[in-house]
Structure 1
């Protein structure tokens, strides 16, 4: 929908500034996620979304990065902090977007590390959890929580 368009029956209109952003993203963003197209959308996401490696995230030594398995869970934590900072740091515990059906723990980390961790001197832990429908609710939520409990006890 463009600014000035009449919204569908019962659907609220979008903010005109948001309409500009949505229009720039194309029709794929507006494609509804359904049980019938979920596998195709997940394949497309896996093929196109960046997935930096631990080595990439280290950014030539700018960050200390480790991959940690959450005991007893199907979840992995990517832990990163600016190199050279010692002792406990404030922590951002990050659960990637994607409605628990898309995305990965590493895709946004380069930006978070550059724009938040480095200037603010904080650590970032991003949780990689299994995606639905392969992993069923509430397991993926419990994996995210188990990761949070893990970092709260190991800090």
Structure 2
């Protein structure tokens, strides 16, 4: 039986990898978690805003053990109730913060006139599952309950996130259905982290790209107390473990063809389709993980960004 071949990186993106590796190493082991928390920290709020017409209002959300911090980002002068993305950050469940990777989300606010609520959740390994998930679910409930005072249309809320945040967003969509929780009009899953068991594409990337097989094992074992791949993992930790994909909100799923999450993203879209649901799937040729964050000006990155924004416009504005 022939071994699967690793897809080639887009030439334009390949040139960017040499620069990216100095900030985001392809292989993350447990001893690198403190370094990643420092290296992947978000820019200052002033740098993020960059003089643009944005309002950022901080919020404190009560959860079971401690306050959960977040921010509501809106275009200055926004009036009335508008659609919202409840956004969960990337970082492999181990690092990142509410302002990590927000450049594209700020453009949604400016271009579409929507609001983004971005939140902190407690991180593994200090806080393994179910803590990050329950933090995010409690935050979603609070935002929906306070939607009108936040200037948000309660019937136009999308849960979204990239990488680990995409996995959390998928878990929230499952839980909202299962628990009779908030109504969601969509789920935005950018190259989501969905399956602790690994897939064929997981095994194609060692020591290359962004987020390789070892990094993935580090993230899952941090979240699952070293039990990644065990038979009893909850779908609220690893949404690919779900057995019922009926009655989920419409999904936008995108992923690079040259990254480890390719197969689990495709499988997740297929499961939604087979259950009669709606999923818009994009598999971007030659794209590595999170290339739109690390190399946003590359041609394929710009195509990714445009497709995502077009879907959000249909879900939240039109």
Alignment partners' CA distance in 2, 1:58 and 1:84? 17
Deviation at 1:104, TM superposition (A): 1.2
Match of 1:21 in 2: 16
Q: Which runs of 5+ in 1 are unaligned?
A: 1-8
Judged with a 3 Å threshold, the aligned counterparts in structure 2 of structure 1 residues 107 and 41 are, in CA distance, closer, same or farther, namely closer
Where 2:70 maps in the other structure, the secondary structure is: strand
Match of 1:102 in 2: 95
Whether 1:139 aligns to 2:131 is yes
Deviation at 1:120, TM superposition (A): 0.7
Q: Structure 1, residues 103-136: CA drift from partner, whole Å, max 9, x if none?
A: 11123445522x1111211011101112222222
Where 1:15 maps in the other structure, the secondary structure is: coil
Q: Structure 1, residues 50-96: CA drift from partner, whole Å, max 9, x if none?
A: 1426xx75947x23321111112442121111122221101011111
Alignment partners' CA distance in 2, 1:111 and 1:13? 26
Alignment partners' CA distance in 1, 2:88 and 2:8? 26
Q: Which runs of 5+ in 2 are unaligned?
A: 148-318
Match of 1:44 in 2: 39
Judged with a 3 Å threshold, the aligned counterparts in structure 2 of structure 1 residues 106 and 44 are, in CA distance, closer, same or farther, namely closer
Judged with a 3 Å threshold, the aligned counterparts in structure 2 of structure 1 residues 58 and 129 are, in CA distance, closer, same or farther, namely farther
Aligned residue-pair number: 142
Deviation at 1:10, TM superposition (A): 6.1
Where 2:120 maps in the other structure, the secondary structure is: strand
Where 1:36 maps in the other structure, the secondary structure is: helix
Match of 1:68 in 2: 59
Judged with a 3 Å threshold, the aligned counterparts in structure 2 of structure 1 residues 64 and 39 are, in CA distance, closer, same or farther, namely closer
Deviation at 1:29, TM superposition (A): 3.3
Over the residues paired in the alignment, what is the CA RMSD in angstroms?
2.8
Match of 1:154 in 2: 146
Q: Structure 1, residues 23-58: CA drift from partner, whole Å, max 9, x if none?
A: 342355344111222223323334xx41426xx759
Q: Is the 8 A contact 2:84 2:115 kept in 1?
A: yes
TM superposition score normalised by structure 1: 0.74
Where 1:103 maps in the other structure, the secondary structure is: coil
